[in-house]
Amino acid sequence: MSQKLFAGIDAGGTTTRCFVIDASGHFLAFSKGGSGSIIAQGAAAIVNLQSTLIAAAAKINQEPNYEAIFIGASGINSPKEQKIAEQLITHNFDAVKFQKLEIQSDTSALHAAAFFGGSGVVFVCGTGSKCYGRTADNKEAVAGGLDWVLTDEGSGYHLGLLALKRIIRGIDGRDSDAAALRELIFTHLKIKEYGDLSAWLHSDRQEKTKIAALAPLVAQAALGGDVIAQQIFYQALRAGVELIVAVVNKLQLPTADIKLGITGSVITREPAAHIFPECLRERLPSATTFIPTIPPAAGAALCALQLAGITLTPDIIANIQNSALDQLDC
């Protein structure tokens, strides 16, 4: 007998993660795919989103028919973008059926994973970055999240960009030579000369992704003791903290009791994992950080239950927390 399916999707700029539960919050299936950023990737993202929903249903031998789907997507920053994304899915999903659909920012899914509908602030810091907060009376505030040209402070993209700029300044003679970092990145990119950077940058239209992919190299250099790489991390993460301070101020939250849920490939790994708390204490001395016990995709699944009119009881929350999350790459 078929079960009623509720899907939560964390649609990131690089990876889409789909988490399916039943009406009681019990885990049923999980699947992954490529970028689900509809605003940035368009038709390709639609294909990836539909594929993850099909794959998840197939794992439990059911047709991809869902009671509710909630998508927390990167690049959704306004009601207009939300409406466009929902219309694109409605008109282009040909193999997945659903009764209800809602698309919000990816930070909405993270917030649900961190606070289960309660009050708090979350910070996403991976390929890009964004801070979002909501109070108990549903007052909301956002900082950042307008993509790489305008924002993304503290992110992998920001780290890669700062590294490239620092290398160029050194080559130009406008700053001391960043020799170790230059050699590491030039070797990775298989380039030898200053001018080759321009050709590499403009070789395709994936500037943000390719620059963000340099962040692990900056981390490698920083962990190896390179002072310039360490300075870049401090500069980027202090800029990321400014987003958090802005949200706290907008919501007029008591700074003595700030709890910050964090996620992302940059902020949860070294060296950011120890540099970020240091930078945060400089501005918000009493703030504490934590990684949510469930991933954003599972938070989105809780939002799918609410979308279907189901109240999040302690039992439902416990059921999703007790899922075998450690066995999933989510």
Confidence band (pLDDT; 50, 70, 90) for 328?
low
79 in Cβ contact with 50 (< 8 Å): no
pLDDT of residue 167: 96
pLDDT of residue 326: 58
Q: Residues of the chain with pLDDT > 90: what percent? A: 73
pLDDT of residue 260: 95
| E-assigned strand segments in 208-316 | 259-263, 288-290
pLDDT of residue 306: 95
**pLDDT at residue 162 greater than cutoff 60:** yes
In this predicted model, what pLDDT tens digit does every residue of 32-66 receive, in sequence order?
999 888 887 888 889 999 999 999 999 999 999 99
Confidence band (pLDDT; 50, 70, 90) for 311?
very high
pLDDT of residue 230: 98
Please work out, in degrees rounded to the nearest 5, the angle formed at the alpha carbon of residue 143 by the alpha carbons of 138 and 144. Answer: 140
Q: Work out the average pLDDT over 284-288.
A: 93
- Convert 16-49 to b/e letters by CB count within 10 Å (16 or more is b): bbbbbbbeebebbbbbbbbbbbbbbbeeebbebb
How would you classify the pairing of strands 140-144 and 16-21?
unpaired
pLDDT of residue 325: 67
pLDDT of residue 138: 85
**pLDDT at residue 226 greater than cutoff 80:** yes
Q: Work out the average pLDDT over 70-78.
A: 88
pLDDT of residue 330: 64
Backbone angles phi, psi at 195, to 5 degrees: -65, -20
145 in Cβ contact with 73 (< 8 Å): no
Q: Work out the average pLDDT over 159-179.
A: 95
Q: Work out the average pLDDT over 9-23.
A: 91
pLDDT of residue 247: 97
Confidence band (pLDDT; 50, 70, 90) for 86?
very high
**pLDDT at residue 152 greater than cutoff 70:** yes
Please work out, in degrees rounded to the nearest 5, the angle formed at the alpha carbon of residue 238 by the alpha carbons of 237 and 242. Answer: 110
Confidence band (pLDDT; 50, 70, 90) for 329?
low
In this predicted model, what pLDDT tens digit does every residue of 95-142 receive, in sequence order?
999 999 999 988 999 999 999 988 899 999 988 899 999 998 889 999
Q: Token digits for 166?
A: 């620092």
Q: Which residue has the higher pLDDT, 173 or 1?
A: 173
Beta bridge pairs of residue 18:
9, 31
Q: Work out the average pLDDT over 287-291.
A: 93
Confidence band (pLDDT; 50, 70, 90) for 1?
low
In this predicted model, what pLDDT tens digit does every residue of 195-220 receive, in sequence order?
888 889 888 767 888 999 999 999 99
Helices (H) and strands (E) in the chain, counts: 13, 10
pLDDT of residue 324: 61
pLDDT of residue 279: 97
pLDDT of residue 327: 54
Mean pLDDT score of the chain, rounded to an integer? 92
